[in-house]
Structure 1
Amino acid sequence: MNKIITAAVLVAAAAVGMAAPAHASTATGRLSALQRPAILPAENGDVLSSEPGVFYLDPLKAIKVDAGVHRIMYSTTDRSGKTIAVTGTVLNPRSSLYGQRPIVAFAPGTQGLADKCAPSRQLAEGTEYEALPIKKLLDQGYAVVVTDYQGLGTPGVHTYMDREAQGRAVLDSVRAAQRLDAVDLPDDGPAALYGYSQGGGATASAAELAPTYAPELKIKGAVVGAPPADMSKVADSMDGSAYGAFFNYALSGLATSYGIDVNPYLTAHGKRVTNDLRDNLCTTQALAKYPFLNSRFLTVDGRPLTERLKRAPWDTIVAEQQLGKRKPAVPVLLSHSALDDVVPQQVGKNLAADWCRQGVTVRFAGNHIPGHIAATTGTSSEGVPWLADRFAGRTAPSTC
């Protein structure tokens, strides 16, 4: 069925003068620029096109992961309900102990806003900083699908921190992976959700949306690491910090999602910085070039943009991104370090408490790993065995 959809879409694209996607070279890891088709199917998670790919652990491309790799373009729905095309990567281990191979939807953390920062591209270039946790899941015999989210690798600005768009892209990545003809995954096989930081928020959103948006998926659990669940608290923590560029990402991403022009807020310097972050720099480059970026040095009135978030229309936008107001139907492991220097641990604790009050089975796994980036190891070390227990059908622990 997917081959029929792909053929129909490519014919339609060719009819309006759009080039059909070329195939990747598995020898070099070079990826074609997949084009958004002219006509999108009505069903979320349909595969629009795919191509073979590669997964390297290092930028020298000396260490190639032994797995089947396919870059895909699939359909999902943005915040406004419009059908859009996004890209991603499906990774399949060569062997597995499972009869029905589970699939884990890996929601990536902050990559940047530029198309070159898309995880599907960075996995092929050996520059993906979350390569090791992805490989760890593959080593367990799980298939893994990694979404690029809206606007990374596809036209438009990445809608960074948009709760609904991110959660839907994660859920539809599972549908797409299960429908991909090139990968032998059961259409109704077991699945799980996993993510840290931005990915933790996207995973939490996907878990909350799944009962109504993707009720047919057999999701066994969700691993949520350091989720930015409440932007009203996270924004003040980020602005002016070593991770100040992330706040600027959020401003651009949410402004795009809600159709707001931020240029009137910014000085000429502020516009240059914002455009540079949006168009040119991935995460590590952005943090190196703009350390301790404070938004008050970018604005025409000299006031930090965090103050604007407290006024209309931004106060409503921020409130709409809050997690914990909806009930996941699956058990959750929520991992968060007390020494997180980006997302305060109390934000994670509050989310766990909100879910507990709704009757969700939640295990809150706190740790004292210093720093937001280093604490990804805590989520992985807790999350991988926790997932194994969910796929084995064991009763999930709770700290509620």
Structure 2
Amino acid sequence: MRISRIAATSLTVAAAALSLAPAASAQPSEAAGTVVGVESLPAAATLPGSASAERLLYRSTTAGDQPTTTSAAVYFPAGEAPQGGWPVIAWAHGTVGLGDNCAYSVAGPAAVERDWAYLGTWLNQGYAIVAADYAGLGGPGEHPYLNGVAEAHNVVDAVKAATERYSSLSNSWAVVGQSQGAGAAVFTARYATEFGGPNLDYRGGVGTGVPAYIEDVIQLAGPGMPPIALSSHLTAYVLYILSGLRTTYPDLDIDGLLTDTGRTWLDRAQTACIGPLGDELAAAKPSIGSMFARPLSSISDVHGLLAHYMGLPESGYDRPLFLGQGLRDTDVVTPETLRYAAVLQANAQPVTFHTYPTDHDGTVNASLVDSVPFVRALFD
């Protein structure tokens, strides 16, 4: 993602942290999707054109199936809700970083122009939008980056919370996502019916720039990697994945695999948003190999572990799924995304797949010509 820097003011960040403090003490017995707080959205996180918007705090699940509190932004279209309520689009956002000040409902999207245009299209089509912060972003604990099942819980529980809170929302919903969020949307598509229960009516999903089979690539990380120049954002993604593994599997001793250089950068990634971290990596130009003292492959059955953690489901979809991929996308491994679509088709999954002559960022809005009618048909 070629993205602009988003810097939340210290006042906004402090207010967000304080607002979550009472929610963090909510009892674990509260069901997932239970609303525990409502507050105003910062201007940076408010979608232009929304008639009203709020920030929800709600109960959900994080790594290890542990209960947590997280948050979401909710946007409403202009006008009177139709009979039955506004249909809901659950927005699964792309990478913003790991620090609490990076949370979508605090700082807004990382790619502002791109994402506001995209979400504005859905809003103008008459959908309310529920944009989940993933667990550990803007709330207690660390964010388990690319932990697909945890992110699916967060997205589904945000819809539960929003439909519980607002009578103007329909219980019919679809999920859309980009990049990290495309992975979250795909996992959500696989588990939405199971996680949502009888009170939600899940219709289908959309993912663009899907990070498929990343486990096949990241398993090769280690000190023997040649010092090939990667974009600063790709290096940031590797650090975020290592942080997610450390959060999800503390017994792995991820820090023990790293050099002093690697540990320093991993600690920085733990609090840095993608824009500033990318800038720092671009200036320092550390190689991936320089960060490792031992290879990831020294972990027993590392591929199996990584596949369990981030491997996209290849079957079990009970509603239509749309995937869009830019053929010039270098932020995800495009051949692997093409392979993933082929695997779904071979497995007779209800997938619709389109490619576009664009890069990672360009695919988001280029896909709307196909995804808007696809989603409309889901609700028809």
- Aligned partner (choices 80, 101, 104) of residue 119 of structure 1: 104
Match of 2:225 in 1: none
1:365 to 326, 331, 354: 354
1:106 matched to 2:91? The reply is yes
Deviations 1:109-145 (A, max 9, x none): 0110111100000139996862332222212111111
Matched, 1:166 2:151: yes
Output aligned runs, 1:38-77, within 5 Å.
38-56=26-44, 64-77=48-61
Query: 2:273 and 2:212 mapped to 1: Cα distance?
Result: 23
Long gaps (5+) in structure 1: 1-24, 302-306, 394-400
Q: CA deviation at 1:373?
A: 2.4
Q: Alpha carbons of 1:169 and 1:103: their partners in 2 closer, same or farther (altered >3 Å)?
A: same
Alpha-carbon spacing, 1:47–1:177, altered in 2? closer, same or farther (3 Å): same
Letter in 1 for 2:242: L
Task: Please give the per-residue CA displacement for 1:170-213, whole angstroms capped at 9, x wherever unaligned.
Answer: 111111110114x6223xx2100000110000000011112322
Determine the structure 2 residue equivalent to 1:290.
Answer: 281
The question of whether the paired residues in 2 share the 8 Å contact of 1:119 and 1:148 is answered with: yes
Q: TM-score, normalised by structure 2?
A: 0.84
1:226 and 2:209 correspond:
yes
1:175-324 matches, within 5 Å, as 175-181=160-166, 184-186=168-170, 189-216=171-198, 217-235=200-218, 241-242=230-231, 243-259=234-250, 260-279=252-271, 281-291=272-282, 293-300=286-293, 307-309=295-297, 311-312=299-300, 314-320=302-308, 321-324=310-313
Considering fraction of residues, name the structure with more helix: 2
* Distance across 2 between alignment mates of 1:124 and 1:330: 28
Structure 2 CA distance for partners of 1:125 and 1:276, relative to 1, 3 Å: closer
Q: Match for residue 34 of structure 1? A: 20
Do 1:210 and 1:328's aligned partners in 2 also have CA atoms closer than 8 Å?
no
Change (3 A) 1:310 1:174: farther
| TM superposition shift of 1:54 | 4.7
What's 1:343 paired with? Answer: 332
Give the distance between the partners of 1:175 and 1:209, measured in 2 at CA: 14
SS of 2:262 mapped into structure 1: helix
Matched, 1:331 2:331: no
Structure 1 residue 268: Cα displacement: 2.2
Q: Higher mean Cα deviation, 92-101 or 76-85?
A: 92-101
Inter-partner Cα distance in structure 1 for 2:270 and 2:76: 32
> Partners in 1 of 2:169 and 2:160 — Cα distance?
11
Aligned counterparts of 2:144 and 2:69: Cα–Cα separation in 1 = 13
Among 72, 93, 100, the alignment partner of 2:77 is 93
Distance 1:44 1:87, change over 3 A: same
Residue of structure 1 equivalent to 2:8: none
Aligned length: 352
SS of the aligned residue for 2:140 comes to coil
| Aligned residue in 1 for 2:7 | none
Letter in 2 for 1:65: G
Where relative contact order (Cα < 8 A, 6+ residues apart) is larger, the structure is: 2
Amino acid at match of 1:33: S
Structure 1 234/178 Cα, relative in aligned 2: closer, same or farther at 3 Å? Answer: farther
Q: Alignment partner of 2:20: what SS?
A: coil
- After the TM superposition, list the runs of 4 or more consecutive aligned residues in structure 1 that deviate by more than 4 angstroms: 54-58, 124-129, 236-240
For structure 2, the residue ranges without an aligned partner over 5 or more in a row are 1-10, 222-227
